[in-house]
Amino acid sequence: MQTIMKGLFMLLLAAIVLGKVQAQTIVKNKLLDVYQIDFAHYAEKQEGINYTPEYLEAYETSQRLITAGKLPFTIYAHADYGYQVERSIDTTIGIMQYRADKFMRIHGKTALMLGFKDLSGHDFYYASEAITDSNKVYAVITLTDDTMTVAGYSCRLAVVSYSSTAVRYGDTKMDMELWYAPGLPAFYGSGFDYLQKIPGAALFIVYDTGHNIRLGYKAKTVLKQKKPLSFFELPEGTEIIYPVKGPPMR
């Protein structure tokens, strides 16, 4: 009898384990509506003006990348998950976003676990909100009713104005225009901390340098597709590294 009971117990345990594995497999294979957004460089300048070498070089570099068809990054956007692929001349770095404010910076077989505060150096406020700490560099976001169609999607204009000079372009206070699609899931991450309060996916990002040159990124294509939940998981064999300060995320 004892042997029979032990055998039944082992069968029950195996069934439970198998059920958990099957359930996990079902979750991983769950298909999500994901928007793949490929961004191209954008550059424009006002003609008939003598530009400083610094800004003219930035403009010409962007123009060369545009002509060469180089895509600086791709966003895979979902309401609860996100994946940002950054590209440079010699490397590709992934930024995986999930649970709204937790990030992993992936480089090769290593993933650095980050919180949103690790990506953001500024505070952001809507124009209607009170500034809680004016001693820090902050930015005010103004949502407007202006519209534009970008990559086939109707977008609205948000203007981001920083409180300080020397935020990005040296001696000039920088403002940005963000054309966002309210119908697409918002994203933000490394290099895009200012998007945290934009109510939709930013498809056209323009930096006004204040020197009659405007630089930025514009969505070239937006493709809606089905992706399994496992698409947003770390590749097998990736080593997770936690920041020095603070306990591991749970």
Q: Taking every pair of C-alpha atoms in the chain, what is the biggest distance, in angstroms?
A: 97
Within its chain, how far is the Cα of 212 from the centroid? 28
pLDDT tens per residue across span 93-135: 777 766 555 677 887 788 887 765 555 556 777 778 777 776 6
Q: How confident is the model at residue 25 (pLDDT cuts 50, 70, 90)?
A: very low
Is residue 11 domain-resident?
no
Q: Where are the alpha helices (DSSP H) in the chain?
A: 2-28, 53-68
Question: Which residues share a beta bridge with 84?
Answer: 75, 95
Is 70 among the domain residues?
yes
Domain count, the chain: 1
Amino acid 227: pLDDT:
93
The answer to whether residue 17 is domain-embedded is no
Residue 16, domain member (yes or no): no
Residues 75/205, Cβ–Cβ less than 8 Å: no
Please tell me the predicted confidence (pLDDT) of residue 196.
76
How high is the pLDDT of residue 97?
Answer: 67
Percent over 90 (pLDDT), the chain:
25
Q: Which residues span the domain enclosing 82?
A: 31-241
- Whole-angstrom distance between the N-terminal and C-terminal Cα of the chain? 44
Which stretch of 5-14, 129-138, 229-238 has the lowest confidence by average pLDDT? 5-14
- Identify the CA nearest to 180 among candidates 215, 214, 204, 207: 204
Domain presence at residue 212: yes
In a domain, 52, yes or no: yes
CATH number of domain containing 198: 2.50.20.10
Is there a contact between 95 and 76 (Cβ–Cβ < 8 Å)?
A: no
CA 5 to chain CA centroid, Å, is: 55
**What pLDDT shows up at residue 49?**
65
Burial 89-108 (b: 16+ CB within 10 A, else e): eeeeebbbbeeeeebbbbee
Query: For residue 248, is pLDDT > 50?
Result: no
199 falls within a domain: yes
